[in-house]
Amino acid sequence: MAMTFRNKLYRQMHQGAYRGTGLSLINKIVLGFICFSVGVVILETERPLYWANYTTFVIIDYTIGVLFTIEYLARLWSSGEDPRYKGAFGKLRYMVTPAALIDLLVIIPFFLLSNSNYFLARFVRLFRLFALAKFGRYSEALLLVQDAVWSRRHELFMSFILTSVILLVSSTVMWAVEDGEAFESIPRALWWGVITLTTVGYGDVYPQTVAGKICSGLTAIAGIGLIAMPAGILAAAFSEAFQRHKMVVLERREHSVEVPRIKVDSPRVSATRLEASTAKDNTAEGSKDSEEA
Which residue ranges of the chain lie beneath pLDDT 50? 116, 257-274, 288, 292-293
State pLDDT tens for residues 43-53.
Answer: 888 889 988 99
User: Phi-psi region for residue 180, left (φ > 0), alpha (ψ -120 to 50) or beta?
Assistant: left
What gap in Å lies between CA 261 and CA 272, rounded to an integer? 16
Give pLDDT, residue 73. 92
Neighbours of 37 (CB within 10 A): 23
3-state secondary structure of 99: helix
Contact between 29 and 122 under an 8 Å Cβ cutoff? The reply is no
Give pLDDT, residue 124. 62
Closest CA to 230 of 162, 166, 165, 156: 156
State the alpha helices, DSSP H only, in 96-199: 98-107, 118-128, 140-151, 153-177, 186-197
Domains of the chain: 5-138 (1.20.120.350), 153-255 (1.10.287.70)
Give pLDDT, residue 169. 93
